[in-house]
Homo-oligomer: A and B are copies of this chain.
Amino acid sequence: MSVAVMSENPAPTVAIIGLGLIGGSLALALRAAGEAGELLGFDTQPDAIAEGLARDVIDRALASPRDALAQADIVVLCVPTVVAADLLADLTRVAVRSGSSAIITDVASVKGGLEARMLAQHGCVPPRVVLGHPIAGSERSGVGAAREGLFRDHLTILTPDENTEADALADVSRLWRAAGASVVCMAVSTHDRMLAATSHLPHVLAYCLVDTLARSSHSEDVFRFAAGGFRDFTRIASSDPVMWRDVALANRGALLEAIDDFAQHLITLRAAIDAGDGDALLQTFTAAKTARDGFSALQARRDQS
């Protein structure tokens, strides 16, 4: 389908490759918003396809991801981060060969690996490939957990570069706004560094703390007497271990930097505690509280608007 056809018809055919929580929720949101013509779906698991059709998440199943290139205006790769690069490499290779004008986008939590793969394969990120990442999720997973409101009031980050075609960027942006998200654009390296600091590092720290306590000799008591602060602090340690292993490795460089920054500061704090340096502790704790209160205020304004 050509861009011209798309601009006459404001509801593009969208193919969701990977019918999990994210893909299923995007499909539901697009259908609710009337922003997709036909919704096509593919998954390696026949059960996911069956559930997607039964729940009216998608209209029609595709026999393979490659079929999406001929049948959809926008192909959204909603597969796990660890397989996203291979799939993107395959689809862009076929798209170039076949002259497909389909826009390809994705939802992977780490963007550096995908960009590197495109540079190696094509010398650039192809003009109709728009890498993206909706900052939303749940401890639940699978198409059964999908819900149309998952992206509402959340951010989706897109990482276009000077090579990206403007209409491709506009169409992907419109897709996410239709799903209720705000869209912001930034460089791949900024995205990966920022996500390392605010998401990947906290997950590593939460997993690390809970496993440290679970290994301790008094672990039963520890969990028996832990209170609300502990519950909030460690909630993300209930996240999918396979997904987070893959994210940690996919964003290895930025994550190691974030861990090192944190560890350096923890060493300083430990020394202050050891030395009984109350002034240093108070300074750090106060600065952190000020920053965290500012973050709360920012979130409150965002929730209101």
| Contact surface of A with B, Cβ cutoff 8 Å | 135-137, 154-155, 157, 184, 186, 190, 193-194, 197-199, 201-216, 218-219, 221-227, 229-242, 244-246, 248-249, 252, 255-256, 259-263, 265-267, 269-270, 273-274, 276, 278, 281-282, 284-296, 298-299
* Given known A231-B299, A296-B238, contact A281–B245 (CB-CB < 8 A): yes
The binding surface of chain A is classed by DSSP as helix
Residue of B nearest to A191 (CB): B225
- The answer to whether B249 and A198 have CB atoms under 8 Å apart is no
Interchain Cβ contacts under 8 Å between A and B, 14 examples: A197-B216, A202-B229, A202-B230, A205-B209, A207-B289, A208-B266, A212-B265, A223-B295, A229-B236, A234-B295, A235-B292, A238-B289, A249-B276, A252-B276
- The answer to whether B209 and A262 have CB atoms under 8 Å apart is yes
Q: How far is the CB of A128 from chain B (nearest CB, A)?
A: 26
The 4 closest A-B pairs by CB, nearest first: A241-B285, A214-B291, A210-B288, A198-B226
* Given known A135-B227, A238-B292, contact A248–B233 (CB-CB < 8 A): no
Residues of B within 8 A of A202 (CB): 209, 229-230, 233-234
* Given known A202-B230, A235-B232, A293-B238, contact A211–B287 (CB-CB < 8 A): yes
- The answer to whether A223 and B291 have CB atoms under 8 Å apart is yes
Q: How far is the CB of A274 from chain B (nearest CB, A)?
A: 6
- The answer to whether A259 and B248 have CB atoms under 8 Å apart is no
CA distance A229 to B137 in the complex (A): 9
Q: How far is the CB of A209 from chain B (nearest CB, A)?
A: 6
Q: How far is the CB of A4 from chain B (nearest CB, A)?
A: 35
CA distance A255 to B273 in the complex (A): 9
